[in-house]
Structure 1
Amino acid sequence: MTSPAADQEQQAEVTRLRLAIARLYRQMAQASHSQDLTFAQLSALARIEEHGPLRLGELATKESVAAPSMTRTLTALSFAGLIEREPDPSDGRSYLVTSTDRGRALLTRLRQERSEMLASRIAKLTGEQRRILQSALDVLELLVDQQDEDQAPTG
């Protein structure tokens, strides 16, 4: 059992981490010029590029959203010319979603702009700060990997 002071300190650390991650993400998103995609749209497009071609249901599962939400997301991406839908050769009632050349080019540009922003900031750190950041990356990746464990079925 921890003391109330220790609980309060841990909560303060969690709050600082959450805010730092959110602010850094927002700044990276702002560094991406003329990016009119929502977080859900950008996430789905990146997932399609990584794992495609995918059925709508598979993509919805990977994104942890309901099929109707994914349908709306894909409609916007399709309208923007970032994805295309093809009939599923193994199931005529379904279709597969793939990213277009335009969608892949957009992802490449966004990633480059965001990486350039981060690289510029990292370059201003001292050597010791960069070593600390490298150590923190290992821990942050562990936190990310725990998502799979949190979403795994129990029982």
Structure 2
Amino acid sequence: MALARIARLLDRQARGDALSPTQMSVLGTVARRGPMGVSELADIEGVNPTMLSRIVAKLEDAGLIGRQPDPGDRRAVRVEVTEAGAQLHRHLRAERTQLLTDRLADMPEGRSAELLAALPALEALAEHLAKRPAATGPANGGAGTL
């Protein structure tokens, strides 16, 4: 919960009114992972394809994402970040990094050192979670849904 709260606060302070949280997430995913199919992007983002289509259309209208036919399946569409989208993504990441750096500098020295020491473990957890789909449903008591 703490990590989600931190991410939301950083997003809110960094993006202003430029993008919704979902638009920012979609742009970030495409910028980090490169061109991908819309259905793959919908799976990664955890949104239904219809909603994702609307989000992609808004990002495309803003010149941040482009759609291309999938060379392997002419019925499918791939999305890719434009130069303007990549530039905005870099700017937002730099702004978030600066906000976090400034806040860490304000913390007592012992606390900031503890947080920095935890980063490798948090990175390992993020990589582990990215490799395995979340289990949901009765088998785990619905713990995958917050």
Whether 1:151 aligns to 2:139 is no
Give SS of 1:81's match. Answer: coil
Q: TM-score under structure 2 normalisation?
A: 0.78
Alpha-carbon distance, 1:40 to partner: 1.3
| Pair 1:25–1:74, CA change in 2 (3 A) | same
Alpha-carbon distance, 1:22 to partner: 4.4
Residue 108 (structure 2) aligns with: 126
Residue 30 (structure 1) aligns with: 12
Give SS of 2:47's match. Answer: coil
Whether 1:67 aligns to 2:49 is yes
Report the identity percentage: 33
Alpha-carbon distance, 1:53 to partner: 1.1
Q: What one-letter code is carried by the residue in structure 1 that aligns with 2:83? A: D
Question: In terms of Rg, which structure is larger?
Answer: 1
Give SS of 2:107's match. Answer: coil
Question: What aligned pairs does 1:68-87 form with structure 2 within 5 A after superposition?
Answer: 68-87=50-69
Give SS of 1:115's match. Answer: helix
Gaps of 5+ in 1: 1-17
Residue 36 (structure 2) aligns with: 54
Q: What one-letter code is carried by the residue in structure 2 that aligns with 1:44? A: V
Q: What one-letter code is carried by the residue in structure 1 that aligns with 2:105? A: A
Q: TM-score under structure 1 normalisation?
A: 0.74
Q: What one-letter code is carried by the residue in structure 1 that aligns with 2:33? A: H
* Counterpart-to-counterpart distance in 1, 2:38 and 2:133: 23
Matching residue within 96, 104, 112 for 2:94: 112
Cα-Cα RMSD: 2.6
Number of corresponding residues: 137
